[in-house]
């Protein structure tokens, strides 16, 4: 399950729109820090942390749905691939 999760996370965070969205958040944090605006930097950092948690929750939910689907396809077994299968 970890490999599937890692793959899901990789896909989620390497999509151009997601990557650009996180870059914009990082830029907002950096610009606020460079301007000496502590309040804006803190707000931008909190928004970024919240968005990251939300994105990871979505990945976990998608992974859980995938695992249920794989078990159904495999007749209820835990793994979609049995040992020795190639």
Q: Transcribe 61-82 into DSSP letters.
A: HHHHHHHHHHHHHTTT-S-SS-
Q: Domain tally for the chain?
A: 1
Q: Which of the two residues, 77 and 18, has the higher pLDDT score?
A: 18
pLDDT at 18: 83
Find all residues with CB under 8 Å of 47, minimum gap 6, and list them. 25
CA distance linking residue 71 with residue 60, whole number of Å: 17
Tell me which residue range forms the domain holding 46: 2-73
pLDDT at 1: 43
Structure tokens at 59: 């990945």
Whether residue 19 is contained in a domain is answered as yes
Considering only CA atoms, which of 55, 13, 56, 47 is closest in space to residue 29?
47
Mean pLDDT taken over the chain? 82
pLDDT at 29: 98
Whether residue 86 is contained in a domain is answered as no
Whether residue 22 is contained in a domain is answered as yes
Per-residue pLDDT at 22 exceeds 80: yes
Whether residue 84 is contained in a domain is answered as no
């Amino acid at each position: 399950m970890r490999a599937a999760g890692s793959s899901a996370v990789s896909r989620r965070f390497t999509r151009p729109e997601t990557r650009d969205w996180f870059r914009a958040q990082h830029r907002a944090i950096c610009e606020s820090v460079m301007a000496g605006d502590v309040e804006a930097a803190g707000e931008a950092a909190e928004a970024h942390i919240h968005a990251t948690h939300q994105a990871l929750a979505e990945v976990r939910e998608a992974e859980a749905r995938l695992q249920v689907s794989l078990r159904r396809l495999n007749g209820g077994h835990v793994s979609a691939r049995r040992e020795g299968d190639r």
